[in-house]
Structures are given as structure tokens and as C-alpha cells.
Amino acid sequence: MSSAILTEHEAAAAGRPGRQTRQDGRPALETRHTAASAAAFHPWHFFVLLSLGAATVAVLVAGPTTPENLVLLSIVIGAAGLAGMGMYRTLAPLASADAALLPERLSPGARAALEREKRLVLRSIKELEFDRAMGKLSAQDFDEMAGRLRARALALMKQLDDGRSAYRALIERELAARIGQAAGPAAVTAPARPPVEAVAAAPPRCASCATSNDADAVFCKQCGARLEGPHP
Amino acid sequence: MATLGSFVLLATFVSAAYALTASVAGARLRSRRLVESGVGAFYFVTALMTVASAIIVHAFVTGNYAIRYVQHYSDAAQPLAYKIASYWGGLDGSIMFWVFLLSVFGAVAVSVNRERYRELIPWVIAVIAGTEMFFIFLMVVHNNPFSTFLTQVPAEGKGLNPLLQNFYMAIHPPSLYTGFVAMTIPYAFGIAALVTGNLDDAWLRAVRRWTMVGWLFLTFGLTLGMLWAYEELGWGGFWGWDPVENAGLLPWFTATAFLHSVMVQERRGMLRVWNVTLVIVTFFLTIFGTFMTRSGVVQSVHAFGEDRWLAALFTGFMIVILIFSFGLVIYRLPLLKARHELDSWMSREAAFLANNWILLFSAFFVLFATMFPTLSEAVTGERLTVGPPFFNKWMTPIGLILLVLTGIAPLLAWRKSTVNNFVRSILWPTVGGVVTGASLVALGIPVWSAGVCFALCAFVFIAIGQEFVRGAEVRRGVTGTDRLTAMVGLVARSRRRYGGYIVHLGIVLMFLGFAGQDFKRQETVLLKPGQQTTVGKFTVRHDALTVTSDAQKQMITGQVSIFEKGEAKGEMSPAKWFFNKHEQEPTSEVAIRRAPAQDLYIVLAGYDVQTQAASYAITINPLVDWIWLGFGVLAFGTGLALLPESAVAFAVAKVPAGAITTGLMLLLLLLPVSARAQTATTPQQVEPIKESPLKRQLQRDLMCTCGACRSPLNDCQMRPACHGYREQNAKIDAYVAKGMNRDEILAAFVKEHGGEDVLTAPIDRGFNRLAWLFPYLVGGVGGVLAIALVARRSSHPREEEAPGQPRTEDAGLQERLDDELRDLD
């Protein structure tokens, strides 16, 4: 969300209308998704309505026949509606702007692997404790194995802790790079960009009911009044 | 509609090709929109296959006989359910059904894992879409279920094979296919992991559940197949080692092996190459199984018939799979190095290794024995038969070893078990097993394998019961609750472990049922109305013979009354049904009186409507119901292991005390045991037809030559009316009367028949010796290799972290570790 806000801010600075800029500048799919969830009408609504309509017509046209025929006809048409949706789902991404597979680069497998390995080691310790309690292991074996596992778990936790700061730095770098991309040449001439928190911390407040709204809101979510501020 | 169907299939092929291309291109170019579009196309394939399936079902239900496939496999008189089941009743439709299921499973797998495994998903889609393309290609160019009659559309359909018009048969193929298809998902993830090089354990987590689901469906499908064979084929057994049955069993073995070895990788980081290999082999075997049943390379009761072209296509596809998959494995070998070595031979890892070895051995043995006739034909030009006696001889000891491992492995700890503790754990199970064995010997149980099996069942049962009790005791000590709560909590907390143990219990019950088969008694008797015969503790009285008919078939039904120790126990009505247009293939409608101890199983074998006389094949099948019950327990255990965390939290909160036990009791009580009191009369007693032990042995050694049943004589489902059975039997009688011994008679049959395929197992000489030597060879050499490999590896110094005591500055971390460990419970 914060990245969307940032882009909007950049757009406002460049003097372009907010919504359009957002669609141009952000990863297309995320934007589409946000827009779709805000809208009342989703693409799948269209296909469901279409199938229902088509099924009704088919049943009317079929005339007097067996119920299973009608049910199956409707199923065929329903499946066709599904196919329509599949077709839409295939073509829609092609029509939108491309985005590199950035998120994958941002979440390096290494960290996740460390987390997983830690969980695995913890589970193994638990398992070992249980086996010890069940009397399957001698105290000596248990101490040796659990000691080894605990040492491994500690090492992993340490690695994770050390990695956290490096990870944050990586996010910041990626973010900066994206902001640079979105703002274009303006970013080069404006090095003193406001930090993420500063932008996010200034939500527009409704003049009539004093409700604080989302940064990109045009109307108040409480009373519906048009909001003052950068939005037209 | 037919044209639309063909068009939809073409469109499906194109979109599958697009999904494959877009995904691969997207992954290579790191383009998100291409990948997303590929995902969309993948869903589109699913939607199109749904359309195609709906069209064909519509055609079946409305009787659109212009479509060849519909005309061939249905008719107007069929009940609605069987009209729908006709969809997968033939070759073309079954391929289409396969693609439909694969597309649905693929779509679900992709949609569930899309966010978590972004790197892998494009490749997963590519692999699944590639597999779909192969099958759609088959349909488009060779087996189009929508192909129509060019001229003269028949007004009537031929009707589904009567044998398939059975409740179990309607749901057996979907279940088996689902199992087969679900195995494609682990393969796709495995290949994706190999391609991307993300070979940590992430892909295993994604596929473990899918393998479990596939395994459950496979088991369900196999059990349904057994039930179908038991109820519909009428030979009194449930498993005939038919190639088609074996085709389902092969991936079951390797999937079971994978489900065990995956734990070794998760816990110990070992067996990484092995797991990838198992996933590939399992998938390969599903395709191979499909190939076996559909190409006609093996002869079987329910294969679809010979088709050289299909065989060639399948062979090509299988070669591509093998080269591609194992090429990738070799390419990625450096990334697949094991992180740990085997600590001790007395550890759970070692037990799992043994179990994997035996399961793999079973798979290859069954594969080899199933393919041996084809192999022999190719090498020597002579076609042989490898029948149930050969399989049983080998699989009985293998099954028993697996049963022992089922009990021992849970007693062992990971890494290393101490001798004293292991002895303590194994003491009571062993005592239980020995006591059971000794009592069986004292009671004079005649068959060694069954006796050993019962003793081992007792061993495993006590071993697993002990695990539950001791686990509950430990938990009770920690949580301070009562025993039952501790038990429920225990199972809920470690669902995989205890779900697995419950599966093992299910296996024990199934083995009880298998062992019961050694005590099976089969008699044939000819009765006139009012006459009766006694088999075991049951007396069967023939009351009447009725002839009725409905729109679909003519039914000849024998009415018999059953008495147990003089007390009337009810009536049974075994029948023969002659379906219209299939009069030459009457079906046996078996009458079964089920009880936990033994089933009374009566088949109307022959009849004379004029005199109202009927000949009955009466079988006493001890313990057979425990197989079905065992499957129920197994499914419950698998379901438990599959449950997500939240579901169990809910269940633990709501499950009333003792609910599980009550459920089991209910299940037991539900086994239909009818008891109706009647007064018995004293009709004329008739003795069953006596057969000498030599003749019975010969009936097991020789195949029935009727050509339809492809079974040993004593299992022919059409006997005693079957012409092949009658001819063979007459010859046996003649030879026995001449005073010939078993070997002489068998030799005479081979000479007369002109080939050894009249025998149920190949004679141990010449090329055939390979069939007998192979299991020894593979078992021995493989075992030695595995032991040598592991021993060499475990003798290497371990490059594991030094145990060393944690330093004091880590005190904070230590505390956090303790906290996390506490939270984990």
C-alpha cells in the first residue's frame, strides 16, 4: 500500500491526475486487483450473468424435454461461462503493463530456507524430547543429540537475526530503485524525497466529520463528503 | 454437439500448448504478465475440459447415438447413474476423463500454491500442461470420443459392459484415476524444483499433501476394485494379480515408499536424490500402468484391447519422461548431496530404508512378473502365463516382512535407539506375537503363512497400541490431564505421527483379511428344490428358481434358505443376469451374507429351469470383511494426518470423550449381520461334489481355456457352466483316472495345448528360469548394494556442527529458543 501512496505522491508532484498515474506506474496486476476489489462489479460477475442468461435461453428454446437434459444443458453452458472467464484470465495480463518478477527477488529463498530449517530443527528437538520421555533414548544419547540440535538452532537464530538488518536494507534499496523508476527523470533532480513514513502519516481528514481517510480517498468513508486537499 | 466437442478438444490442446509456452517463456524472461497469462491459460484448459466432459455426459444422458463412443457404451434402458459412468467405461472416454481430472487437480494445486512457490509455479504448469497435451493429442488424432458415424446412425446403443454395471465399478475408476492423476502434481513440483535448482525441502512440503491425497485415492480405488472383483466376478476372491490390478498397485508401492522416505529428508536431510527419484518413478508408473491397460501389451480381463499405434505413442512419451527427468536429476546431482549420514542401523531412518527397499522390490517384482509373458514372447516367441500362484509365492513373504516393519519402525527413535530401550519397547509386542503364534500352533492352524501373519498382526497391534498408551502417559505427565484427554491431545498435536500409526493399524486389519484367505472353503453342489447341503457351519437349502425380467435384462434367481446349527438365518438370492445385447456374457449376482468372522458367498453357477434344479458354488470366506474395515481405519488415519492445524483445534475442542471408539464400534456393528428365526424342516441332505486334493491342486495350476476369464480353473467366474472349465476338468479327470501324477498331467496339458501359457506359473527351465531367478537377483544384489553404499557413507567422518556447549553470551538466544520450543507444543 505504501508504495502505491508513494507513486501517487510522485504523480502529484509531476502534476498528473492520481489514478491514471497509479495505473501507469505501479505493477499492473496489483493495481488492477486493488481497483477491482474496490469496484462493485467484477469480471466474473459478467460471466456468471452471461451464463445464467444463456442457460435460461437454452432451457426456453429446448422446449418440452427431460429434466436431466435441461440440467446438463445448463451445466454445459455454465462450464462455457467458466471457459470465458479462463479466456479473460489468460488475455487480461497480456493487455496490462509488464512487471518483472520483482517480488521473488525481494524475498530471497535463503531467508525462507533458514526459517524452515530452524523450524525443522525445533521440531526435531521436540521429537527428541518426546522420544526421550517415551524411553526410547538413553540420557547420554539425548544430551548429545539435543545439544547438537540446540547448537544448530542457536546458530540459525543468530544468522536470522543478523540477516534481518541486511534484509531491511535490501528492501529499502529495492524501494528506492522502484521510486526512481516510477518518477522518471524527476527523481534524479529531486534527491530529497520525503521518507515513506512522512507521506503515510498525513491522511486527509474530512472537513465535515473529521474522519481520517485513506491517502488516495476522494470522498469521506464516513459521511461521503468530497475531501479537500490534493485530489480534484 | 459432437462437432462442438471435437472443437473444444482442439481448443484445449492449443491452450495447453499456450500455457506451457507462456509459462516457460515467462519464467525464462522473468516476465510476470506472461506467467500470469500462462496461469490463466492453465485454468482455461480446466474450464474447456469441463465443457467437453459436460458435452459427452449430455450426449450419454440424452442418448445421442450419432457419436460412436456413446453408441458403443450405453443404451436407453441403462439407469441414469450408469449412463454417466459410461463416460469412463471405454478407452477414449477414459483418456478424456483422465485429462479432465488432471486439469482440475492441476488448477487446484496451482491456485493453492501460487503465492507460496512463485518460482516453481511456471514450471509446474509447464509439466502438467505437457502431460495434458500428450493425452489430448491422443484424443485428437487417434481416440476422439466425439467421432461420429459418417452414415447410418444406429437407433440404439450397444450398452455398457454388464460387468461394469455395478456400484463399485461406477466409482472405482474415478477413484483410481484420481489417485493416478494426483501423482502428477508431486512429479510436476519435483521437476520444477530440479529445473529452478530450488532443491531445499520446500518442494517436498508442497507435494507431501498431494502425495497423501493421491495415495488415499489410490488405496480407495484399489479397495473398490477388490470389492468389485469380490461382488461382481463371482470367483470368491478379490485379488487375482491381473495386469490391470497390478497397474494400480505399482505406483501405490512407490508412493508408499515416498511417503516414508520424505520424512527422512524432512528430519535429516538425507535421501534427497532418492526422493526425487521416487517421485519420478511413481509418475512414470502411473503412465506405464495406463500404457499397460490401454495398449494391449498385456492380456487382461479388463484391458481395453490391442492397439499398436497407441503403444508406440505411449512408448515415445515414456522414453521422453525418463530421459528428461533423470537427465535433470543427473544435472542437479551436486545440489542434491545429503546433509547427514546414517547414525545407526538401529534407527528409524534405517527402518525406513529397509521399508523403501522392500516396497521398491515389490514394485519391480510385480512389474517384472506382469511383463514377463510379453518379454518371453519377444525373446522366445512363446507366450506364457504368470498367474496368482507365482505372485502369491513371492508376495506372501514380502508382505509379512513389511508387516513386521510396520510394527518395528514406530518403536525406533530417529538417529539412534539404545539397545536396552528398544528391547523394552519390543518386549510386550513380541510376547503378544509369540503367545498368539503358540496358541495357533496348539489349535492346529494348518497354513504356515496365515499362522505367521496372525502372530505378526498381534505383534504390530500391541506395538502400536503401546505407542499410543506410552505417548498418552508422557503427555499426561506433562499436561496433568486424564488419560483420554491426553490421548486425544497427543493425536491432535502429532497428527502425522499418530495418523500414520492409525494407518498402520488399518494395514494390520487388512492383513488379517488377507490371511483369512488361506482358510477359504469352496464347494460346488447341485440341488433340486427342497434339497440341502452343508458347508462349514452353514446349511444351504435350495427352495426355488425364479425367472424374471425388466427393461434391461433377464434374471434367473435361485432362492436359498440358510441355517446355522439348525437355526434359520434368513434367505439369500444368488442370480444370473442376462443383459439385452450381451446375452453371451451373463453376470453372476453373488449373494453374500457378511459377518466379521466369515462371509457366506453363494454363486448361482448353473441351473435347469424345467426341473428347477440349480448348481451353487458356495464359498466360506473367513475374515474378508476386515479388509474393508481396515481400509476404513486407514482412510481415517490418512484423513487425520491431512487435516490442517485449525481443523484439529476445533475437533479437539468439540470431540466428546470416547467418540473415536464409539465410531469404531458403530462401524463394527454396521457390518450387516442378519438373524431371523425360522423353524427348520428336515429336507434331503446332498453332499457337495467331492474333488481329490490332486484335482484341486491341478485346478490351481491350470488356466481356464474359455478365453474370457483368463483365470486359473478354480477361479473361473463362469464355472461350472463354462465350456473351458468343463473341457479342462474332463481332461483332468481322465488323466487322474489313468493314474498320472501332477507333473505328468501338467506336461500332458502343455503338449496338448501347444504352449506353456496353459499353466498359471511358468515352468522353471530355460528362459523361464529368469522369472524365478529375477526376484532373488534383484533382491540380493540390490540389498547388498544398498547396504554397501550406506555403510561406506556412514563410515565417512560427519561434517556436522560440533556439539559444543553454547556460550554464555547466547543466554538471551537460549531463552528465546526455550520459549519457541514451549510454544511449539
Q: pLDDT tens for residues B524-552?
A: 888 989 888 988 889 999 998 999 988 88
Local confidence band at B413 (pLDDT 50, 70, 90 cut-offs): confident
Q: Please give the average per-residue pLDDT across B410-420, as a whole number.
A: 78
Grid coordinates in use for B98?
A: 483422465
Q: pLDDT above 90 covers what percent of chain B?
A: 29
Average pLDDT over every residue of B631-637: 93
Asked whether the beta carbons of residue B33 and residue A96 sit closer than 8 angstroms, the reply is: yes
The answer to whether B53 touches B64, Cβ cutoff 8 Å, is no
Does any CB of chain B come closer than 8 Å to the CB of residue A82?
yes
Say yes or no for a CB contact (<8 Å) between A93 and B45.
Answer: no
**A123 to chain B, minimum CA–CA distance in Å?**
8
- Cα(first)–Cα(last) distance of chain B, in Å? 58
Which residues does chain A have within 8 Å of residue B425's beta carbon, measured at their own beta carbons? Answer: 135-136
- B793 — pLDDT class (breaks 50, 70, 90): low
DSSP annotation of A90 reads H
Closest-CA distance, A34 to chain B, in angstroms, reads 17
Which three-class secondary structure state does DSSP give residue B302? coil
Question: Between B790 and B284, where is the model more confident?
Answer: B284
Find, in chain A, the residue whose alpha carbon is nearest to that of B53.
A76
The more confident residue out of A177 and B229 is: B229
- What pLDDT does B49 receive? 95
User: Helices H, strands E: what count in chain A?
Assistant: 10, 0
In 3-state terms chain B splits into helix, strand, coil percentages (rounded to 5) of 65, 10, 25
Q: What is the pLDDT of residue A9?
A: 39
Strand-pair partners of A219: A226
Closest-CA distance of chain A to residue B185, Å: 21
More confident residue, B19 or A182: B19
Q: Is B67 helix (H, G, I), strand (E, B) or coil?
A: strand
Contact present, B290 and B246 (Cβ < 8 Å): no
Closest to B532 in 3D by CA, of B622, B618, B619 = B618
Q: Residue A232's pLDDT band (boundaries 50, 70, 90)? A: very low
Question: Judged by CB atoms within 8 Å, which residues 404-443 of B form the interface with A?
Answer: 411-418, 420-422, 424-425
Question: B62 vs A122: CB contact, 8 Å cut-off?
Answer: no
Contact across the interface for B474 and A134, Cβ inside 8 Å:
yes
Q: What is the DSSP string of B608-659?
A: ETTTTEEEEEEEEEETTHHHHHHHHHHHHHHHHHH--HHHHHHHHHHPPTTH
Q: Residue B197's closest CA among B339, B333, B106?
A: B333
Asked if the model's pLDDT at residue B650 lies above 80, the reply is no
- Interface contact A98-B40, CB threshold 8 A: no
What are the chain B neighbours of A82 within 8 Å (beta carbons)? Answer: 46-47, 50-51
**pLDDT more than 70, % of chain B:** 89
Instruction: Place B103 in a pLDDT band, splitting at 50, 70 and 90.
Output: very high
Q: Has residue B174 got a pLDDT over 80? A: yes
pLDDT value at B661 more than 70: no
Is the CB of residue A156 less than 8 Å away from at least one CB of chain B? no
- Nearest by CB to residue A144, choosing from B424, B803, B813, is B803
> CA B388 to CA B298: how far, in whole Å?
15
B676 Cα to chain A: minimum distance (Å): 41
- What residue of A is the nearest CA neighbor of B803? A148
A144, closest residue in chain B (CA to CA): B803
Angstrom distance (rounded) from CA B329 to CA B317: 18
> Which residue of chain A is at minimal alpha-carbon distance from B414?
A128
Q: What CA–CA distance (Å, rounded) separates B425 from B412?
A: 9
> Which positions in chain B touch A134 (Cβ < 8 Å)?
467, 470-471, 474
- Residue A129 distance to chain B (closest CA, Å): 10
Local confidence band at B37 (pLDDT 50, 70, 90 cut-offs): very high
Name the residue in chain B with its Cα closest to that of A82. B47
Q: Taking CB atoms and an 8 Å limit, are B31 and A100 in contact across chains?
A: yes
A85-94: burial string, b at 16+ Cβ within 10 Å, e else: bbbbbbebbe
Unique residue bearing C-alpha cell 472405482: B172
Residues of A in contact with B50 (CB under 8 A): 79, 82-83
Q: How far is A79 from chain B (nearest CA, A)?
A: 5
Query: Above 70 in pLDDT, residue B436?
Result: yes
CB contact (8 A) between residue B412 and residue A94:
no
Q: Which chain A residues touch B118 with a CB distance below 8 Å?
A: 101, 103-104
> How close does chain B come to A51, measured CA to CA in Å?
13
Nine cell digits for residue B217: 485415492
Rank A2-6, A84-88, A217-221 by mean pLDDT and report only the highest. Answer: A84-88
Is-contact B248 B225, C-beta < 8 A? yes
Which of A48-52, B152-156, B655-659 is most confident? Answer: A48-52
CA distance A8 to chain B (A): 23
ipTM exceeding 0.95?
no
Mean pLDDT calculated for residue range B745-764: 78
Residue B89 has pLDDT above 90, yes or no: no
Q: Quickly count helices (H) and strands (E) in chain B.
A: 26, 10
* Number of other CB atoms surrounding residue B404 within 10 Å: 17
Q: Kindly list the residues from chain B whose CB atom is less than 8 angstroms away from the CB atom of residue A116.
A: 200-202, 205
Chain B nearest C-alpha distance from A231 (Å)? 31
Q: Which of B 455-494 lie inside 8 A of A, CB atoms?
A: 467, 470-471, 474, 477-478, 494
Lowest mean per-residue pLDDT among B51-60, B67-76, B330-339, B456-465: B330-339
Q: How far apart are CA B65 and CA B75, in angstroms?
A: 9
Option in B58, B414, B424 nearest A72 (CB): B58
Q: How far is A125 from chain B (nearest CA, A)?
A: 8
| Residue A72 with chain B: CB contacts under 8 Å | 54, 57-58, 61-62
Which residues in chain A (19-78) have CB-CB distances under 8 A to chain B? 27-29, 66, 68-69, 72-73, 75-76, 78
CA distance A128 to chain B (A): 8
Interface probe for B, chosen from A74, A90, A111, A128 (most Cβ of B below 10 Å), is A90
Closest residue of chain B to A68, computed from CA coordinates? B61
| pLDDT tens, residue by residue, A95-105 | 877 665 544 44
Say what the pLDDT of residue B670 is: 45
Taking alpha carbons only, the member of A25, A22, A172, A103 closest to residue B30 is A103
Residues 6+ apart with CB under 8 A from B81: B170
> For chains A and B, what is the number of CB pairs under 8 angstroms?
194
pLDDT score at B11: 95
Cβ neighbourhood burial of B135 (10 Å; 0-12, 13-18, 19+): buried
Give me B818's grid cell: 526455550
Give A 172-231 residues with CB within 8 A of chain B: none
**Average pLDDT rounded to a whole number, residues B769-791:** 76
Nearest CA in chain B to A92: B37
Binned at pLDDT 50, 70 and 90, residue A18 comes out as very low
**Quick check: B802 pLDDT over 90?**
no
Max avg pLDDT among B255-259, B479-483, B722-726: B255-259
Q: Is B56 on the interface with A (CB under 8 A)?
A: no
Which of B817, B373, B273, B231 is closest to A126 using CA atoms? B817
Q: Report whether B554 contacts B79 (CB < 8 A).
A: no
Answer yes or no: do A154 and B415 touch at CB < 8 A.
no
B510-528 pLDDT, tens digit per residue, is 999 998 888 888 888 889 8
Question: Who has greater pLDDT, A22 or B196?
Answer: B196
Q: Does B270 touch chain A (CB under 8 A)?
A: no
- Measured between CB atoms, does A141 come within 8 Å of chain B? yes
Residue B577's alpha-carbon distances to B165, B554, B708, B787, in angstroms, are 11, 6, 17, 56
Tens of pLDDT, residue by residue over B321-360, are 999 999 999 998 888 777 667 777 778 888 898 899 899 9
Asked whether residue A78 carries a pLDDT value surpassing 60, the answer given is: yes
Q: What is the three-class DSSP state of A100? A: strand
| C-alpha distances out from residue A55 to A60, A70, A82, Å | 9, 9, 13
Confidence of residue B682 (pLDDT cuts 50, 70, 90): low
**B80, B411, B824 ranked by CB distance to A126: nearest:** B824
* Closest Cα in chain A, distance from residue B51 (Å): 5
Report angle CA B225, B228, B232 to the nearest 5 degrees: 150
- Note the residue count of chain B: 825
Least confident of A122-136, B57-71, B83-97: A122-136
Question: B564 pairs with which residues across the strands?
Answer: B538, B567
Q: Using CA atoms, how far apart are residues B782 and B776, in angstroms rounded to an integer?
A: 10
pLDDT at B704 over 70: yes
CA distances from B71 to B83, B147, B447 (A): 11, 11, 50
Q: Which of residues 352-391 of B touch A (CB under 8 A)?
A: none
Say what the pLDDT of residue A5 is: 36
Mean pLDDT of B234-243: 82
Q: Three-class SS string for B563-579?
A: EECCEEEEEECCEEEEE
CA B494 to chain centre: 27
Are B145 and B92 contacting, i.e. CB atoms less than 8 angstroms apart?
A: yes
| C-alpha cell, B648 | 484439529
C-alpha–C-alpha distance, residues A162 and A15, integer Å = 42
Question: Does residue B814 belong to the interface with chain A, where contact is any CB pair within 8 Å?
Answer: yes
Residues of A in contact with B800 (CB under 8 A): 148
- pLDDT of A186 > 70? The answer is no
CA angle B145, B146, B148 (to 5 degrees): 115
pLDDT of residue B449: 84
Mean pLDDT computed over every residue of chain B: 83
Q: Is the pTM of this model over 0.90?
A: no
For residue B819, give the amino acid letter: D
